[in-house]
Amino acid sequence: MIAENLKKILSGLPPEVKLVAVSKYHPLDDIKEAYAAGQRLFGENRPQELEKKVKELAESGECPDIQWNFLGHLQTNKLKQVLPYASLVQSIDTIHLLQEVDKWGKKNDKVINVLLELHIGAEETKQGFHEEEILELLFGASKYANIRFCGLMGMASHTDDMETVHADFERIKSFMDYLTDLFPELVDFKELSIGMSGDYETAIDCGSTMVRIGTAIFGERSY
Ligand SMILES: *Cc1c(COP(=O)(O)O)cnc(C)c1O
């Protein structure tokens, strides 16, 4: 089932769009199944779960070239459960977190790849930066010697109204274009991580370079 789902999704993705298989709340066996089907890039949103999965796979020696992205809210006291393992942290949502990740990088002699999470859509509670905060932050990007700014991550409004979703994604895309024009020195700033199970096709129409898909690969999560 997982292999079939992956195949179906991949057949609809342009070759340059990366697929993050979001495996949060799903057991290791599901990850192994996706790996066996060729998937290498996985996403998790809870530090403890990520670390546990990484360690179990390392112990058994399975899935040797698996890659992890972190895409959940990250508390600064959990960095050591995430930063040694994640090739990309997609969910940087405060200056404080960014500063702490930079510090961790310095201490561990590592440059951390990050996406800045953009707050978009209607929900007041949704985490992420506002556009002007991202602008200000990137004007000071050189302060963060151990951070590599790789782009933006965003979620559309939580709605079935695809016109609203489309408008949200268009807005993220045009902000992304604005930033890449304004900061040509940030040569790695090119990923636009938009699109989930319910809206990834729309996201691709709007210029997504990376989709994060869980349910459509692994089925419903049981929390
Ligand atoms: C869970 C999650 C996803 C995947 O959601 P699905 O609807 O299951 O595809 C994508 N992005 C983030 C940030 C998530 O937390």
Nearest ligand 1 atom to alpha carbon 218: 8
CA-CA distance, 8 to 163, in Å (whole number)? 24
* Confidence (pLDDT) at 174: 98
Indicate if the pLDDT at residue 123 is higher than 90.
no
Nearest ligand 1 atom to alpha carbon 90: 13
- Please give the distance, rounded to the nearest whole angstrom, from the Cα atom of residue 140 to the centre of ligand 1: 30
* Distance from chain centroid for Cα 161: 23
Q: What are the angstrom distances between the C-alpha of 194 and each of 33, 65, 132, 151, 191?
A: 25, 24, 19, 11, 9
Give the pLDDT band (50/70/90) at residue 46: very high
- Of 118-127, 130-139, 191-200, minimum mean pLDDT range: 118-127
Instruction: Spell out which residues line ligand 1, taking CB within 6 angstroms.
Output: 22, 24, 45, 71-72, 196-198, 212-216
The three-class DSSP label of residue 107 is helix
Residue 95 one-letter amino acid: I
**pLDDT for 18-38, tens place per residue?**
999 999 999 999 999 999 999
Of the residues 123, 196, 197, which should be mutated to test ligand 1's pocket, given the most ligand atoms within 8 Å of the CB? 196
Nearest ligand 1 atom to alpha carbon 22: 4
- Please give the distance, rounded to the nearest whole angstrom, from the Cα atom of residue 213 to the centre of ligand 1: 6
